[in-house]
Each structure stands twice: as C-alpha cells, then as structure tokens.
C-alpha cells in the first residue's frame, strides 16, 4: 500500500473519533475528504464531488418534498392523530403492548421517515399506555426505539431515493428489493425487545403510581381524516405502482398531493402552511442533502488516496466478505457514532457502484448498507432518537436502552449479512401477510374507537377498547 493509503486510514480513524465526540457531521466529512484529496495532489476530485452532489435533481425533488410534507404533518398534528388512532385498541393488551408499541412505531415511521420525528410523535401517546400497563421506563423507551428503522420502507426516506438513483430504478422498486428482509428485521426487533424486557423484569402490572397516571396529559379526540393524512403519499405511491397505473406518480408529486389533502382536512392557515412546507424543504436540503454532499466529498477523498481500490480488492476475494463488509461496516459505524447516515452514504457513494464485481447487485448492497446503518443507530446510546425517547420516557441513562436493544439488533444484522438463509426467507410470506392484515385491523379498530368516542363526547383514552371488546 502507498503512503496515501496509510494517510487515509489515519484520517478515517480521526474522522470516526470526531464523529464520536459529536462534532458537526457535515464539517467532519467535508474536512476529511478535502484533506485526503489534497494529500493525494488531486483537490479537484473533492471540489467536483461537491458540485455534482449539489445538483442531483432526483434526490433534491424526493428528499426536499418529503421533508416539506413531514413539516406540515407535524405542524397540523396529523401525526399525533395517526398514533392515537392506532393505539386506541391496545390499552388492554398487557405484556403484548411491548411488541405492539414496536410494531406501531415501525409502521408510523413509514409515514414519518424521521426516527426522531417519529419518536416525538409516538412517545406522548404510547409512553402513558405502556406505563399504565406496568412497563418500566427503560422498557417503554426501548419498545418505541426498536421500531424506528421502519422508515426503510418509506418512499420518502433519503436512502431509498439515493439507491434508486444509483441503480436507475424508481423508489418503489428499490423498496421492493429490501422489503422482505426489512420486515424480518422488524419482526426480530419486536420479538427480541419483548424477550429482553421480560428477562430484565420490565413488566410489572400495577407498579405505576396513581400520581404518575394523574400527570398524564389529556388525549385529544381522534379525527380520522387527519389521522390518514400522513399515509396519503404512501398509499398513492404503492397503489399507483402496483394496482392503478393511472395514478402513478413520483415521490415529489405524491408528497404535494398529501400536503394538499392535509391542508384541506385541517383547514390550517394557508400562509402558515406554505411557509412551513417550504421551511421543511429547506431543512431537507440543508440537513439531509448536506450529509449526502459531505459524504460524496469524503468518498472522493477515499478514492483519490487509493483506499477504496484496496477495499474493493479485498471484497472481490469472497462474496462472503462482501456481504459482511456491506452489513457490519455501516452497522458498527452507526453504533459508535449514533448515526448510520454518514457511514451508509459514504459506503454507497464509494463502494456500492462496484457491487457487480464481487457478486452483488447495486440495489441489494446499497439497501443492505442503509438498513445496517439504521440497525446500528437504533442500538446506539448516543443517537439523537435515543436521547429524544429518553427525554420523553424519563430515562436518565441511554445505556439502559442499549441493554435491551443490542442483542436484537446484532441478530438482525447477522441475518442481514446472510441473505441466502432459505429457512428464514421461506417464512417471509407468512410475516408479510401478518403485517398486511394486522395493520388495517389496527386502523379499523382505532376508527371504531374514535367513532364511539365522538358519539359519546368522551376522551379517546378513556374509551380505548381492547381487541376483545372490539370483536
């Protein structure tokens, strides 16, 4: 290896250390990338990568429109209505409320493809339900956190748009590539978190004091039309691509239709609504695309130094090594930095285009890296979403969440690295059917509870029925 390769290795180690210390991600990646290109006497690679990433029209449309929609959904509280609609039938489930909370968070994250945003929406409703059932604060937080990688199935997720652009597929096709093993990872999380909570004694019915229960804030009456607003773009994209070609459209168009629907059902102030939507678009460019741009510069530095060429040669030696590298690399980075985005974007920019040379496809390797990074971030005690949930649930030490999530996430990433396990893959049809069936059942049950609540002019929380009562 040349001296530039060794210099790049040192810079990568320093980069990881800086990310662990919570220095600004974009700054760290930009500085490291430019430094490597300068040491390689080819600074134009970094500058060209910066300019190229800034003008990626496909990513800009998908990501910025999705963030704009997310901002107006949050402003109008439609995300809260969706959470309460789904949680209404669950109040009497007892221990089963733990996997139910993980599943609800998982599916809501499809509509709200921001882990921290989803946690902020789910927490105020699900935490009191879990606590009332007798689940400890760490168990409550872990149950919610374990479902925050469901965004991998969202058309609005930046990673899906990024890999789709790279593979020359549309977003729905890209999601189809990884949907099965993403669902399996979700099932592993649901079961694993529940088992860990049992082993750690998190479920103790009647352990919550009346004082704490009385501090619970009032639950608003559910508006079904508002609750469905976050799902509108997802429903349009899925329906248009699978069943009704006449309404087939891109992510940006679907997000705009969803925003119009949200404005119509909430009767929000159009001026404030417009300002919030475009503020979200700006945030999407600055925060999400900013990381993609910085990761592109970092990848350019790795290429210029020759480190990527060495890494690819190692991966070419064995398909097994390639699978482990594509999964464990972003996973470990997600754990130690609290963010799977930087690692996944840098990996996909530098390595994924070469996937065919070591026996994999671009969409498979690209989505594997993104999912692995999300799994690592889920078990990290320093991730932003973990800190948000700890604050909502009243958990002082995020390590308590890691204790409950580490084993499930490690099992999930090991499964991810071994996608040829036929026994597991043969169960996917059963899991998929259960997910497809149970989700509408939850919506229907929640709608019934909401209607009953409205008829009786009572609070939804007071009349939240169990599955037994609904049936």
Number of other residues whose CB lies within 10 A of the CB of residue 208: 18
Bridge partners of residue 203, in order along the sequence: 135
Share of the chain above pLDDT 70, in %: 84
Treating both helix axes as pointing N-terminal to C-terminal, what angle do 428-456 and 97-111 enclose, rounded to 10 degrees? 90
Number of other residues whose CB lies within 10 A of the CB of residue 12: 18
* Torsion sign over Cα 83, 70, 377, 23: negative
Q: What is the pLDDT of residues 258-313, one digit of tens each?
A: 999 999 999 999 999 999 999 999 988 888 888 888 888 988 898 899 888 887 77
Burial class (CB in 10 A: 0-12, 13-18, 19+), 460: buried
Whole-number Å distance between alpha carbons of 331 and 374: 7
User: Hunting for tokens 């097994």 — which residue is that?
Assistant: 320
In this prediction, residues 61-70 reach a mean pLDDT of: 86
Burial class (CB in 10 A: 0-12, 13-18, 19+), 21: exposed
- Token code pair at residue 160: 């899906």
Whole-number Å distance between alpha carbons of 263 and 111: 17
Closest to 53 in 3D by CA, of 343, 276, 348, 304: 348
* Torsion sign over Cα 416, 121, 379, 212: negative
Region of 157 (left: φ > 0; alpha: ψ -120 to 50; beta: rest) is beta
Closest to 256 in 3D by CA, of 239, 283, 278: 278
The number of residues making up the chain comes to 471
Note the pLDDT of residue 463: 34
For residues 221 and 453, the answer to whether their CB atoms sit within 8 Å is yes
Closest to 192 in 3D by CA, of 222, 149, 239, 246: 149
Q: How confident is the model at residue 419 (pLDDT cuts 50, 70, 90)?
A: low
Q: What is the pLDDT of residues 158-173, one digit of tens each?
A: 899 899 988 888 888 8
- Token code pair at residue 184: 């399996």
Q: Could you state, in order of their start, the residue ranges of all structural domains in the chain?
A: 3-458
Note the pLDDT of residue 276: 93
For residues 17 and 28, the answer to whether their CB atoms sit within 8 Å is no
Q: Name, in order, each residue with C-beta under 8 angstroms of 451's C-beta and a sequence gap of 6 or more.
A: 224
- Token code pair at residue 138: 């760490």
Task: Give, in order, the Cα–Cα distances in Å from 232 to each of 155, 227, 243, 460.
Answer: 12, 10, 16, 23
Number of other residues whose CB lies within 10 A of the CB of residue 313: 11
More reliable by pLDDT, 451 or 416: 416
User: pTM to 2 decimals?
Assistant: 0.79
Burial class (CB in 10 A: 0-12, 13-18, 19+), 168: exposed
More reliable by pLDDT, 332 or 449: 332
Q: What is the pLDDT of residues 74-133, one digit of tens each?
A: 898 888 888 888 777 776 777 888 999 999 899 888 888 888 888 888 888 888 888 888
For residues 154 and 109, the answer to whether their CB atoms sit within 8 Å is yes
User: Hunting for tokens 């580490």 — which residue is that?
Assistant: 406
Whole-number Å distance between alpha carbons of 257 and 277: 12
CA-angle at 360, arms to 357 and 361, nearest 5°: 100
Share of the chain above pLDDT 90, in %: 25
């Amino acid at each position: 290896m040349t001296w530039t390769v060794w210099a790049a290795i040192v810079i990568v180690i320093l980069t990881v250390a800086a990310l662990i210390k919570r220095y600004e991600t974009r700054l760290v990646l930009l500085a490291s990338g430019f430094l490597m290109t300068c040491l390689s006497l080819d600074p134009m690679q970094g500058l060209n990568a910066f300019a190229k990433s800034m003008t990626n029209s496909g990513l800009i449309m998908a990501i910025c429109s999705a963030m704009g929609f997310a901002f107006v959904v949050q402003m109008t509280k439609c995300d809260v209505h969706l959470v309460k609609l789904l949680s209404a039938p669950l109040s009497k489930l007892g221990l089963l409320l733990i996997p139910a909370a993980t599943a609800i968070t998982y599916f809501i994250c499809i509509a709200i493809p921001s882990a921290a945003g989803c946690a902020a929406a789910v927490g105020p409703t699900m935490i009191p339900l879990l606590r009332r059932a007798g689940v400890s604060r760490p168990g409550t937080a872990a149950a919610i956190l374990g479902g925050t990688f469901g965004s991998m199935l969202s058309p609005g997720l930046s990673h899906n748009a990024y890999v789709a652009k790279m593979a020359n597929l549309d977003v729905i096709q890209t999601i189809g590539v990884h949907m099965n093993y993403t669902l399996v990872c979700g099932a592993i999380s649901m079961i694993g978190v529940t088992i860990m909570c049992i082993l750690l004694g998190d479920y103790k019915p009647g352990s919550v004091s009346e004082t704490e229960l009385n501090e619970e804030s009032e639950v608003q009456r559910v508006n079904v039309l508002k609750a469905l607003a976050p799902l509108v773009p997802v429903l349009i994209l899925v329906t248009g691509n699978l069943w009704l070609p006449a309404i087939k459209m891109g992510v940006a168009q679907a997000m705009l239709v969803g925003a119009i629907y949200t404005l119509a059902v909430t009767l929000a102030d159009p001026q404030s609504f417009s300002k919030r939507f475009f503020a979200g678009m700006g945030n999407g460019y600055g925060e999400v695309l900013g990381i993609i741009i910085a990761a592109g510069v970092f990848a350019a530095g790795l290429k210029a130094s020759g480190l990527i060429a060495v890494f690819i040669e190692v991966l070419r030696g064995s398909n097994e090594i390639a699978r482990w590298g594509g999964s464990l690399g972003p996973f470990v980075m997600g754990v130690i930095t609290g963010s799977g985005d930087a690692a996944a974007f840098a990996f996909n920019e530098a390595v994924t285009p070469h996937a065919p040379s070591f026996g994999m496809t671009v969409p498979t390797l690209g989505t594997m890296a993104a999912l692995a990074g999300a799994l690592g971030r889920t078990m990290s005690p320093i991730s932003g979403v973990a800190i948000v949930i700890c604050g909502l649930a009243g958990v002082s030490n995020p390590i308590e969440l890691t204790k409950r999530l580490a084993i499930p996430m490690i099992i999930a990433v090991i499964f991810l690295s071994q996608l040829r396990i036929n026994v597991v893959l043969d169960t996917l049809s059963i899991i998929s059917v259960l997910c497809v069936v149970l989700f509408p059942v939850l919506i229907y049950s929640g709608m019934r509870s909401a209607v009953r609540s409205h008829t009786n002019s009572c609070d939804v929380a007071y009349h939240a029925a169990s599955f037994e009562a609904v049936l």
